[in-house]
Amino acid sequence: MTSTVPASLTRTAEGSALQAVLLDMDGTLVDTEGFWWDVEVEVFADLGHRLQESWRDVVVGGPMTRSAGYLIEATGADVTIAELTVLLNDRFEKRIGRGVPLMPGAARLLAELAAHEVPTALVSASHRRIIDRVLESVGRHHFALTVAGDEVTRTKPHPEPYLAAAAGFGADPWRCAVVEDTATGVAAAEAAGCRVVAVPSVAPIAPAPGRVVVPSLEQVDLAFLRGLIGEQG
């Protein structure tokens, strides 16, 4: 986890019903969920195996170890999880070197959160090396704190990443708004006690108590997130 949380941000959090906004990366802020699947297809093709499209919904949004383990078992590929992780990260890093497209509404939301000095964190199951490359496109300055999947003991769908982000801001998880695009990420955020906005990217996500589902990040702004926590005005 990397953090640049000044005292002013902590005071802002404490004085507001909405204490922090915690954002997923792949498929939420950047349009890269498809990149990951393309990379997985390419790597397994190199290993002599063809991935089934139905497996995509199983691995989307999950931690690298879970996705890699599932695909190895499903294909019977002669590769270890550690070896496959390196192959996938190398190929993905090369792919995003050509640019990372932002999801519609992402730039506007990040600018609005910064303008109102809302403590904002990036919470991803991707590894630190991948997050740092993506931040070159998204803008590192938008986030006072970032949490990578290889920096926690248990990553999504376990709540640890979101609990770590809330703790980094000195915030109550139930006063943090989370924006996620997959069922795995939603499960992690809800298990942490956060209020969740789901913006499905690949597989559908059903509404539930404490969870709002919207079709696009363009429907999400600061007033929307404050309303999610129960703040008026």
Q: Which of 2-6, 33-37, 124-128, 197-201 has the lowest average pLDDT?
A: 2-6
pLDDT at 5: 62
pLDDT at 191: 97
**What is the pLDDT averaged over residues 189-211?**
92
For 106-147, what is each residue's pLDDT tens digit?
999 999 999 999 999 999 999 998 899 999 889 999 999 999
Token duo for residue 49: 């195996």
Closest CA to 112 of 197, 14, 226: 226
Closest CA to 196 of 162, 148, 151, 158: 162
**What is the pLDDT averaged over residues 93-118?**
92
pTM of the full structure: 0.81
Q: How many other C-beta atoms lie within 10 A of the C-beta of residue 68?
A: 24
For 56-75, what is each residue's pLDDT tens digit?
888 876 778 888 999 999 99
